[in-house]
């Protein structure tokens, strides 16, 4: 059984399996961007009191198992992760330092499901998903494992 975290008046264990894609599902999550985004996601999640338990990026989508405290809505945390990471990518890779109004690296929307006692199965699925994608896309030359 998992350990419970505490807020001032509650004990909680809220985990979610989250999937989102780049705009147009373009194969942009490779190389330098892929290595850059892992620590960015972890830092942004921490700023919202959340923890990324497991995460992998493949060429055209992101899978993560994230622990979000009940004081935050899942949509708020996902919006924060996607918005701030898009700004960080624009700053790092497109040379823009300001005026990020309208930066759209990520597509609208996301898929989310709650994770209960099957946490180990979800972690294994996230790890296995990358292997399935690698088999499907033999042309991907990147040796990076995509883990963050």
Q: Is residue 104 included in any domain, yes or no?
A: yes
Q: Is the pLDDT of residue 19 over 70?
A: yes
Q: How confident is the model at residue 126 (pLDDT cuts 50, 70, 90)?
A: confident
Give the pLDDT of residue 116. Answer: 81
Q: Is residue 1 included in any domain, yes or no?
A: no
Q: Is residue 2 included in any domain, yes or no?
A: no
Domain that holds residue 52: 11-136
DSSP assignment string, the chain: -PPPEEETTEEE--EEEEEE-BGGG-S--SHHHHHHHHHHHHHHHHHTT-EEEEEEEETTEEEEEEE--TTS-HHHHHHHHHHHHHHHHHHHHS---S--TT---BPS--EEEEE-TTHHHHHHHHHHHHHHHHHH-TT-------B-
Count how many domains the chain has: 1
Average pLDDT, the chain: 83
Mean pLDDT calculated for residue range 83-107 = 76
Q: Active-site residue 125, yes or no?
A: yes
Mean pLDDT calculated for residue range 30-35 = 80
Give the pLDDT of residue 1. Answer: 45
Q: Is the pLDDT of residue 68 over 50?
A: yes
Catalytic entry in 30, 72, 80, 125? 125
Q: What percent of the chain has pLDDT over 90?
A: 39
Give the pLDDT of residue 111. Answer: 95
Q: Is residue 145 included in any domain, yes or no?
A: no
Give the span between the Cα atoms of 132 and 129, in whole angstroms. 5
Give the span between the Cα atoms of 14 and 85, in whole angstroms. 23
Tell me, what CATH number does 37's domain have? 3.30.70.1290
Give the pLDDT of residue 103. Answer: 66
Mean pLDDT calculated for residue range 67-74 = 94
Q: Is residue 105 included in any domain, yes or no?
A: yes
Q: Is the pLDDT of residue 129 over 90?
A: no
Q: Is residue 98 included in any domain, yes or no?
A: yes
Q: Is residue 110 included in any domain, yes or no?
A: yes
Give the pLDDT of residue 35. Answer: 86
């Amino acid at each position: 059984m998992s350990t419970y975290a505490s807020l001032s008046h509650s004990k909680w264990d809220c985990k979610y399996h989250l999937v989102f894609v780049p705009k147009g599902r373009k194969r942009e999550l490779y190389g330098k961007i892929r290595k850059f985004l892992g620590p960015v996601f972890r830092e942004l999640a921490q700023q919202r009191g959340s923890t990324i338990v497991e995460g992998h990026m493949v060429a055209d989508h992101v899978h993560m198992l994230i622990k979000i405290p009940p004081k935050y809505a899942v949509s708020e945390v996902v919006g924060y992760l996607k918005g701030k990471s898009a700004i960080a990518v624009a700053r790092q890779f497109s040379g823009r330092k300001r005026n990020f109004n309208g930066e759209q690296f990520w597509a609208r929307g996301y898929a989310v499901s709650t994770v209960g006692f099957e946490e180990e199965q979800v972690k294994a699925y996230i790890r296995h998903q990358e292997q399935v994608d690698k088999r499907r896309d033999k042309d991907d030359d990147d040796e990076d494992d995509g883990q963050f």
